[in-house]
């Protein structure tokens, strides 16, 4: 099962591609240099958290075949036989198989993993570190943040880990990844936070933690721990020219994961705020005229009729400087701030309108459901 297909396609034009960490089967890449082990090592931490890290096996729906039923003329007989073996029966390709990782967040068997790990799943099997296996169902998933929630089919009490606060992490802080790379369950790697708030152009809410802890295909959905054993991220993607780890991996911050998990656990769906504007960055010349050291805010290009923005009086050319007390340094800041706001909430928005700064109140709407 090639669970990396959706993101892979969006980013395949990069000089070195970013791939989600889904399927197994690639050749092992050279090991990434590890962070020097602290005094005493990570043994106690790993022993404490590993029981809650799970390995996920998925059988996904077969996809319609796109192979033509006619083979080219003049093929050698042996090659023709090989092609005929590959031809799908009844217009369907075989069901896809895939592996990934995840982690338990409650004793009743609630699991967090990546959306791309379980996308299209017909069956989901979860294996714990102690060898126990359980069936699981998908409670809900969000393609736009690549977060999914599963529920084990069991009444047994499960081990679980707790979330830490990702916004307290700094570049240089130690991190530990645990997961199922290439189907090699129970793999532990260590490293540091390389950078924060990375945008890898995978979706509108990109805000990744970058790490040099070695993560590979199959690590998808696995936890990234701080040195207290708290989950501060969920491993999701790597930057790589060949699909193997080169020491540049990305994790969804735990603060975002927790919000999405809470929303999905309610009814299996995500509810996001909506403003109703098209925006663009502030041009350098406008920033200079306004006396700013650098461009800031989001310039309104268009206001959707009858939208929350229109009702609040926003117009084309306005510059949104802050939304609900969140400073808008670039476009992503506004996109994330609006999405994280509850619909029907009334929030203050600071706007530069015809050279005059003013604050207006906006009643946030509900964003229509969209795929990635």
Least confident residue range of 8-12, 31-35, 129-133, 314-318:
8-12
Q: Which class for 291: exposed (0-12), middle (13-18), buried (19 or more C-beta within 10 A)?
A: exposed
**CA 354 – CA 348 distance, rounded (Å):** 19
Residue 191's DSSP bridge partners are: 175
C-alpha Rg value of the chain to the nearest Å: 23
* Chain region(s) in the chain for CATH 2.30.42.10: 273-366
* Per-residue model confidence (pLDDT) at position 309: 95
**CA 207 – CA 199 distance, rounded (Å):** 6
CATH topology for 273-366 is Pdz3 Domain (2.30.42)
* Chain region(s) in the chain for CATH 2.40.10.120: 1-24+41-64+96-270
* Residue closest to 144 by CA, chosen among 369, 338, 371, 333: 371
Cα three-residue angle 193-198-204, rounded to 5 degrees? 145
Do 231 and 175 form a contact (C-beta atoms < 8 A)?
Answer: no
**CA 121 – CA 371 distance, rounded (Å):** 16
Do 123 and 56 form a contact (C-beta atoms < 8 A)?
Answer: no
* Residue closest to 50 by CA, chosen among 306, 263, 225: 225
Q: What is the pLDDT of residues 203-221, one digit of tens each?
A: 788 889 999 999 988 899 9
- The separation between the first and the last C-alpha atoms of the chain, rounded to the nearest angstrom, is 19
* Per-residue model confidence (pLDDT) at position 3: 37
**CA 251 – CA 231 distance, rounded (Å):** 11
**Range ranked top by mean pLDDT from 22-31, 71-80, 229-238:** 229-238
**CA 361 – CA 347 distance, rounded (Å):** 5
* Residue closest to 3 by CA, chosen among 17, 29, 18, 24: 24
pTM score, two decimals? Answer: 0.76
Q: How many CB atoms lie within 10 A of CB 73?
A: 5
Region of 371 please: left (phi>0), alpha (psi -120 to 50) or beta: beta
- 148-152 mean pLDDT: 95
Report the DSSP pairing between strands 208-211 and 249-253.
antiparallel
Q: What percent of the chain has pLDDT over 90?
A: 53
CATH number of 1-24+41-64+96-270: 2.40.10.120
- Catalytic residue numbers? 116, 146, 220
């Amino acid at each position: 099962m090639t669970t990396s297909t959706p993101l892979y396609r969006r980013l395949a034009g990069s000089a070195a591609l970013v791939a989600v960490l889904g399927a197994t089967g690639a050749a092992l890449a050279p090991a990434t240099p590890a962070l020097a082990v602290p005094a005493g090592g990570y043994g106690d931490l790993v022993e404490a958290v590993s029981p809650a890290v799970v390995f996920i096996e998925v059988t996904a729906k077969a996809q319609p075949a796109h192979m033509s039923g006619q083979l080219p003329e003049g093929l050698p007989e042996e090659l023709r036989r090989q092609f005929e073996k590959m031809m799908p029966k009844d217009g369907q390709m075989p069901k896809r198989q895939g592996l990934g990782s995840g982690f338990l967040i409650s004793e009743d068997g609630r699991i967090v993993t990546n959306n791309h790990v379980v996308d299209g799943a017909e069956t989901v099997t979860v294996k714990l570190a102690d060898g126990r296996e359980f069936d699981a169902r998908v409670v809900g998933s969000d393609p736009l943040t690549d977060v999914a929630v599963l529920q084990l089919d069991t009444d047994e009490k499960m081990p679980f880990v707790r979330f830490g606060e990702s916004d307290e992490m700094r570049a240089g802080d130690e991190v530990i990844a645990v997961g199922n790379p290439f189907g090699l369950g129970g793999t532990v790697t260590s490293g540091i936070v390389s950078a924060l708030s990375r945008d890898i152009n995978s979706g509108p809410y990109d805000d990744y933690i970058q790490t040099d802890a070695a993560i590979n295909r199959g690590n998808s959905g696995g936890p990234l721990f701080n040195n207290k054993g708290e989950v501060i991220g969920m491993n999701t993607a790597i930057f790589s020219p060949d699909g193997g780890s080169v020491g540049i991996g990305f994790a969804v911050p735990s603060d975002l994961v927790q919000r999405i998990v809470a929303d999905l656990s309610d009814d299996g769906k995500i509810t996001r705020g909506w403003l109703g504007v098209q925006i663009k960055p502030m041009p350098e010349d406008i920033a200079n005229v306004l006396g700013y050291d650098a461009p800031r805010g989001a310039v309104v290009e268009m206001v959707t009729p009858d939208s929350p923005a229109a009702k609040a009086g926003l117009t084309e050319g306005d510059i949104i400087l802050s939304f609900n007390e969140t400073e808008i340094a670039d476009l992503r800041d506004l996109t994330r701030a609006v999405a994280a706001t509850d619909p029907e909430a009334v929030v203050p928005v600071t706007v530069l309108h015809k050279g005059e700064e003013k604050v207006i109140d906006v009643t946030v709407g509900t964003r229509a459901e969209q795929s990635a």
